[in-house]
């Protein structure tokens, strides 16, 4: 545990030395929500989505987008850069085990993601009067499941990609379709049935719907819980299996 704590603290300090990464992980999602909130029709009740406002739908979408940015763009590139620069090779000569390194990366990413989500919720509530979750415990649980599913996917990319550029390319290729099915361009409620069904089987699509259900005070659908657990188990097992120090 001492090794895990030290690794996590070190990785977090290194992260905050990169202004670009700090901006896109912590500030950009909240800024995007502010921009969307300034669109007048998005602040008006829409009968096509049950009387909700579009900005109400975008709060969980932006939260999951922030998870995607961290998991698919920042984490794999950082991990692959360590391998490319020989940092992982040097760590392999120490008592540090792969599980400790993976755990430290996950702990850092979880901390940053929670901070980003809290900031988004604060902006949504204070700036646009978006309702806070009625079922907070379920909301937190679904957020954690969505986060774990995406982080393990990011670790899988980082475990396989030989270079930072390769990890960035793979992460970017995956990021855009994943956030599309999360509803960033078109909320799930306004998607055609075929697109919404595909979205149900993506980690962010399942995550968004689960967060929306918890916000309304409902329990999430078992399908969406199973999808997030499935992505976590499969991607996590593959990341641990194919992890390479160099």
75-84 helix and 164-182 helix, angle to the nearest 10 degrees? 170
pLDDT of residue 222: 94
The structure's pTM equals 0.88
**Tokens standing for residue 35:** 């921009």
Q: What is the crossing angle of helices 136-160 and 54-68, to 10°?
A: 40
3-state secondary structure of 53: strand
Q: Report the alpha-carbon distance of residue 136 to residue 149 in Å, rounded.
A: 20
86: left (phi over 0), alpha (psi -120 to 50) or beta: left
Phi, psi of 202 (to 5 degrees): -100, 150
Tens of each residue's pLDDT in the chain, 246 residues = 577 778 788 878 877 888 888 888 888 999 999 999 998 888 888 887 777 888 988 999 999 999 999 899 888 888 788 777 777 677 666 666 666 777 777 788 888 888 899 999 999 999 899 988 888 889 999 999 999 999 989 989 988 887 888 888 998 899 999 999 998 888 888 889 999 999 999 999 999 999 999 988 888 999 999 999 999 999 989 988 887 766
> What's the confidence (pLDDT) of residue 187?
87
Q: What is the DSSP string of 115-140?
A: HHHHHHHHHHHHHH-PPPPSSHHHHH
Check: CB of residue 111 under 8 Å from CB of residue 22.
Answer: no
The sign of the dihedral angle between the CA atoms of 144, 80, 245, 12 is negative
Closest CA to 9 of 102, 108, 80: 108
- Beta bridge partner(s), residue 45: 53
Distance CA 138, CA 122 (A): 19
pLDDT at 32 (0 to 100): 92
For residue 192, give its domain range: 2-242
The tokens describing 36, both together, are 């969307």
Task: Give me the pLDDT at residue 1, please.
Answer: 59
CA dihedral over 179, 182, 187, 190, signed as positive or negative: positive
pLDDT score at 202? 95
The total domain count for the chain is: 1
């Amino acid at each position: 545990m001492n090794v895990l704590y030290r690794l996590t603290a070190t990785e977090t300090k290194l992260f905050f030395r990169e202004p670009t990464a700090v901006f896109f992980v912590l500030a950009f999602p909240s800024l995007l929500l502010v921009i969307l909130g300034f669109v007048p029709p998005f602040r008006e009740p829409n009968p096509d989505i049950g009387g909700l406002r579009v900005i109400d739908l975008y709060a969980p979408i932006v939260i999951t987008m922030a998870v995607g940015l961290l998991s698919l763009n920042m984490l794999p590139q950082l991990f692959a850069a360590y391998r490319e620069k020989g940092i992982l090779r040097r760590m392999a000569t120490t008592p540090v085990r792969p599980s400790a390194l993976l755990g430290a990366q996950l702990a850092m990413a979880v901390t940053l993601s929670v901070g980003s989500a809290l900031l988004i919720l604060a902006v949504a509530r204070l700036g646009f009067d978006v309702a806070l979750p009625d079922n907070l415990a379920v909301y937190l649980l679904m957020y954690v499941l969505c986060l774990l599913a995406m982080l393990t996917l990011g670790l899988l990319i980082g475990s396989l990609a030989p270079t930072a550029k390769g990890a960035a390319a793979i992460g970017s290729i995956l990021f855009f379709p994943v956030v599309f099915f999360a509803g960033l361009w078109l909320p799930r409620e306004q998607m055609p049935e075929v697109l919404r069904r595909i979205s149900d089987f993506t980690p962010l699509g399942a995550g968004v719907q689960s967060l929306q259900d918890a916000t309304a005070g409902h329990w999430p659908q078992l399908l969406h819980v199973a999808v997030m657990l499935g992505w976590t188990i499969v991607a996590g097992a593959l990341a641990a299996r194919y992890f390479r120090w160099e």
